[in-house]
Structure 1
Amino acid sequence: MSASWFVPVGERAEGRFRLYVFPNAGGGPASLTDLAARFPPEVEVWAVNLPGRQARLAEPPLTDLDALVDLLAGDLLATARRPYALFGYCSGALLAYLVCRRLAELSPATDPGAPPGPERLLVGSFAAPDVVLLLRRLPSLPSWLFWEQLIELGGVPAEVAEREVLRPVLEPALRADFGMLAGYRHRPGPPLPTPITVLYGRRDGSVSRGGLLGWRRQSVSRPSLRELDASHWLAEEAPDRLAAVIAEEIGCAWATA
């Protein structure tokens, strides 16, 4: 596969800070266009560019989570421009976390006093990886039941759920992503040297307080919990506030505006 694993979303020639975003299951770079436009010019938004969707629709989706984590971490290690942070949205939070953990294992710090890899890991609308409840049966269901369960559980944004004509195009990537999630088994390891920000919606009934607080076990520093006036879908319901909070957490002065 010759396509880039990460691609820019919009043009930010003057960007000084790069934010790598891992979208929700089935999502691709185009799903982040609106959110990316809400950031100040100094923030470059890049998105994971996975096979089986959008520009890489002709390629078969990946189904091996460990192999994908190694590919993405290796690409970031070779090409990422610091300073940068990782933001995993919904199920993308698990992938971002695993990539961050792999980077901590692979990349030696240039400064012995500084953590390797990204400056911050941001996770949105997702419980800590050691306690999250995963939909293990979902990927094996027949198509009609797959969509019925997915919509009932709120596993896709409303605008996707309503567009039935797109289901045959979206389903392979969704099945692959939920299949990788279903096969995940948490392997305890040392806390990350990277600070973590946990973003969640005030009206999100799918993530418990304990699930959010569980992220404190995954970092050597106490995570920052940031509540937004939204349900599960932060980027769709509160893009301005989400961009502002992320900008604040990664240290952009604009965030005070």
Structure 2
Amino acid sequence: MGVNTAATEWVRVLRPGTATGGRLTCFPPGGGSATFYRELARHIGQDVDVTAVQYPGRQDRLGDPMITDLHLLADRIAADIVRRPAATRSLFGHSMGATVAYETALRLAAAGQPVRALVVSGRPAPEFVETARLHQASDAALIEDLERLANDPAPVRLLRTEPGLADLVLPAVRADYQAVETYRHRPGPLLSCPVVALVSTEDPTTTVAQAEQWRAVTSGPFSLRTFGGGHFYLDAQHAAVAQEITRHVN
């Protein structure tokens, strides 16, 4: 499956849906890109138009300046999305992407285009304050953290032995870590859409109790689904995760 990079500056089409289906926009984790969701897109309901955000500073946006302010990142993404009509629109984000998706949903609601559903994964609720400052740490410390979170650390270890690869990958990782670690939730209106929180019971970054706190961001329905596996539990469970997402976006 290819990725249509002609969609917009910020959004890439992973798999077109039908004329009657809704649109799902996926938000990558820190250091990730739109193609992170390519396999997941294969398993989403066939009528759903599956798209993904492409953050600047990576892949086909390698030359674009990176954004280290998560609120500004959501501003830019929402401004692009509101210009793209959709019958219904739902958002899904994993890790950092969950927080960016939430902030984008707030902006879409304020613009009169509320989302049908927000599905968040592998991330504490927005009130959580990061105390780590890995974005100020050495490259070695960043790589160590990536190894800690990876299901298979072997590919990450290449960053230690291939300087050219590290020069390509680590700036985006550092920028995204800064966006997450400096993010502070701003009090304001609640969402009214259903919010679904997905979390692994073995995720070192997010406890089930922290995922449960996402219920506070909406006046609408809330549900929680747990999975086995680590932080990137969805890598080995694309079909099950996609089934859960599809239930809420259709």
TM-score normalized with structure 1 length: 0.85
Deviates more, 1:155-164 or 1:227-236: 155-164
Match of 1:57 among 57, 62, 83: 62
Do 2:16 and 2:48's aligned partners in 1 also have CA atoms closer than 8 Å?
no
Match of 1:8 among 13, 20, 25: 13
Instruction: Report what 2:139 is aligned to.
Output: 143
Instruction: Report what 1:118 is aligned to.
Output: 115
Does residue 1:163 correspond to 2:158, yes or no?
yes
- In structure 2, list runs of 5 or more residues that go unmatched: 1-5
User: RMSD across aligned C-alpha pairs, in angstroms?
Assistant: 2.2
Give distance in 2, aligned partners of 1:192 and 1:157. Answer: 36
Deviations 1:20-42 (Å, cap 9, x if unpaired)? 00010011112211111112321
Opposite residue 156 of structure 2, the aligned amino acid is A
Does residue 1:67 correspond to 2:72, yes or no?
yes
**Alignment coverage as a number of residue pairs:** 240
Instruction: Report what 2:52 is aligned to.
Output: 47
Q: Which 4+ residue blocks in structure 1 deviate beyond 3 angstroms? A: 10-15, 155-160
Give distance in 1, aligned partners of 2:146 and 2:211. Answer: 22
Do 1:124 and 1:200's aligned partners in 2 also have CA atoms closer than 8 Å?
yes
- In structure 1, list runs of 5 or more residues that go unmatched: 108-115, 252-257
Q: How much identity, in percent, do the aligned residues show? A: 29
SS at match of 1:9: strand
Give distance in 2, aligned partners of 1:160 and 1:222. Answer: 39
Mapping of 1:98-137 within 5 angstroms? 98-107=103-112, 116-131=113-128, 133-134=129-130, 136-137=132-133
Deviations 1:144-183 (Å, cap 9, x if unpaired)? 222223433x278646524323322111111111111111
Do 1:22 and 1:48's aligned partners in 2 also have CA atoms closer than 8 Å?
yes
Does residue 1:84 correspond to 2:78, yes or no?
no
Alpha-carbon deviation of 1:65? Answer: 2.4
Deviations 1:2-34 (Å, cap 9, x if unpaired)? 961111013445671211000100111122111
TM-score normalized with structure 2 length: 0.87
Instruction: Report what 1:37 is aligned to.
Output: 42
Instruction: Report what 2:205 is aligned to.
Output: 206
Deviates more, 1:67-76 or 1:5-14: 5-14
SS at match of 1:212: helix
Do 1:136 and 1:181's aligned partners in 2 also have CA atoms closer than 8 Å?
no
Give distance in 2, aligned partners of 1:159 and 1:248. Answer: 34
Opposite residue 74 of structure 2, the aligned amino acid is V
Do 1:127 and 1:211's aligned partners in 2 also have CA atoms closer than 8 Å?
yes
SS at match of 1:40: coil
